[in-house]
């Protein structure tokens, strides 16, 4: 059975309507009108043990709200969730021991006290025995290279150090499920790499299942086997990265450097002109073709037969382009 099962999750928030016109501020205070906003609108999700799933979507798509329902912090307006067979918001105590969470924009550390003190208390909170605690802490501190700042107050740490602290805080009780909500936001490349390495390591050695929200394509490319994309509270896509590319940007790009000026009125069967740009002295043409329609070698030979080619490269669309395409188009397309 799947480790995380969510069916038709819906979460609505209602807030008072802001009055407009004269004395709007005062009138808003006494307004009884409320508007309802559906942050999550029928999301269903199944995650198997040991998966690392990227949960993507533009700002305000409903990602964090979904995660808060999965962690049991928010009670769904409708729909059901079970994590490891537990309904998170109903059986909080059992759920707490099953999950760990990092919310990149927040911290669960005691900011005024040394990092180590926070870990000591968390170990007690989660009932981690002294032997297991020492073992995990040593291992994590080693993996994340935290020895130099364990005894400094969390408030004085850099963002990257604090994030590592929060990651350890979430993992001390070795939960089978880890939720990461933007764990690399604002971090430099080295700090990001360290955190990714840690996540991968925990997934490999302890089989930790990870649900990861991020705006960093590197996180997705390096960690996730599967992505789920949502927008406006609805699921747009659920599948592996290859399927994502094939679905949204099925073309490949053939970039041609011309040895002579571009001829007028050229055309090539199944190869489309996508753009012309100057690069130093040379002119570059971007051509698109669909490998399902015409093979790469055929597209190249047709191109060299028609255009004065000095140099040429073929590449797959970057994941970033795929995501940009999805966020911009914001429409549902089915996996072919």
Q: Summarize as ranges the residues that interact with another protein (CB under 8 A).
A: 13, 59-60, 64, 68, 71-75, 84, 86, 89, 92-94, 96-99, 101, 103, 105-108, 110, 112-113, 117, 120-121, 124-127, 132, 153, 173-176, 206-208
Quote the tokens at residue 249.
């940007």
- Nearest residue (CB) to another protein, 53 versus 307: 53
CB 73, min distance to another protein, A: 5
In terms of C-beta density within 10 A (0-12 exposed, 13-18 middle, 19 or more buried), how is residue 173 classed? buried
- Our CA angle for 184, 237, 49, nearest 5°, is 65
Instruction: Round to the nearest angstrom and report the end-to-end CA distance of the chain.
Output: 27
CB 273, min distance to another protein, A: 40
CB 178, min distance to another protein, A: 11
- Nearest residue (CB) to another protein, 97 versus 246: 97
SS (H, E, C) the chain: CCCEEEEEEEEEEEEECCCCCCCHHHHHHHCCCEEEEEEEEEEEEEECCCCEEEEECCCCCCHHHHHHHHCCCCCCCEEEEEECCECCCCCHHHHHHHEEEEECCCCCCCCCCEHHHHHHHHHHHCCCCHHHHHHHHHHHHHHHCCHHHCCCEHHHCCHHHHHHHHHHHHHCCCCCEEEEECCCCCCCHHHHHHHHHHHHHHHHHHCCEEEEECCCHHHHHHHCCEEEEEECCEEEEEEEHHHHHHHHCCCEEEEEEECCCCCCCCCECCEEEEEEEEECCEEEEEEEECCCCCCHHHHHHHHHHHCCEEEEEEECCCHHHHHHHHHHHCCCCCCC
- Nearest residue (CB) to another protein, 87 versus 312: 87
- Nearest residue (CB) to another protein, 178 versus 256: 178
- Nearest residue (CB) to another protein, 166 versus 251: 166
CB 71, min distance to another protein, A: 6
CB 229, min distance to another protein, A: 17
CB 222, min distance to another protein, A: 23
- Nearest residue (CB) to another protein, 124 versus 273: 124
CB 210, min distance to another protein, A: 14
Do 118 and 154 contact (CB within 8 A), yes or no? Answer: yes
- Nearest residue (CB) to another protein, 49 versus 291: 49
Question: Which string of b and e fits 86-121 if b means at least 16 CB within 10 Å?
Answer: bebbeeeeebbbbbbbbbbeebebbeeebbbbbbee
- Nearest residue (CB) to another protein, 152 versus 246: 152
CB 126, min distance to another protein, A: 6
- Nearest residue (CB) to another protein, 156 versus 276: 156
CB 283, min distance to another protein, A: 44
């Amino acid at each position: 059975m799947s480790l995380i099962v969510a069916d038709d999750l819906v979460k609505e928030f209602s807030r008072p309507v802001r009055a407009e016109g004269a004395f709007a501020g005062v009138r808003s205070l006494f307004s009884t009108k409320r508007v309802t906003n559906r942050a999550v609108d029928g999301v269903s999700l199944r995650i198997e043990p040991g998966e690392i799933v990227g949960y993507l979507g533009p700002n305000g798509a409903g990602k964090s709200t979904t995660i808060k329902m999965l962690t049991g912090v928010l009670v769904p307006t409708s729909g059901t969730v079970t994590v490891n067979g537990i309904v998170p918001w109903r059986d909080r105590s059992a759920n707490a021991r099953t999950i760990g969470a990092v919310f990149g924009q927040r911290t669960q550390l005691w900011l005024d006290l040394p990092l180590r003190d926070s870990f000591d208390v968390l170990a007690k909170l989660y009932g981690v025995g002294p032997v297991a605690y020492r073992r995990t802490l040593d291992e994590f501190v080693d993996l994340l290279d935290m020895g130099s700042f364990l005894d400094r107050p969390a408030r004085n740490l850099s963002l990257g150090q604090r994030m590592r602290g929060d990651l350890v805080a979430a993992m001390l009780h070795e939960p089978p499920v880890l939720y990461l909500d933007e764990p690399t936001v604002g971090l430099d490349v080295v700090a990001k790499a360290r955190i990714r390495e840690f996540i991968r390591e925990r997934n490999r050695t302890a089989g930790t299942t990870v649900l990861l929200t991020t705006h960093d394509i590197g996180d997705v490319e390096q960690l996730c086997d599967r992505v789920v994309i949502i927008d406006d509270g609805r699921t747009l896509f659920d599948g592996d990265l290859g399927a994502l590319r094939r679905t949204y940007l099925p073309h490949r790009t053939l970039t041609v450097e011309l040895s002579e000026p571009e001829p007028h009125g050229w055309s090539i069967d199944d190869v489309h002109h996508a753009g012309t740009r100057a690069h130093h002295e040379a002119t570059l043409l971007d051509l698109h073709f669909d490998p399902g329609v015409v093979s790469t070698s055929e597209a190249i030979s047709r191109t060299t037969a028609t255009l004065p080619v000095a140099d040429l490269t073929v590449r797959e669309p970057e994941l970033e382009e795929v995501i940009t395409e999805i966020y911009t188009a914001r429409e549902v397309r089915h996996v072919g």
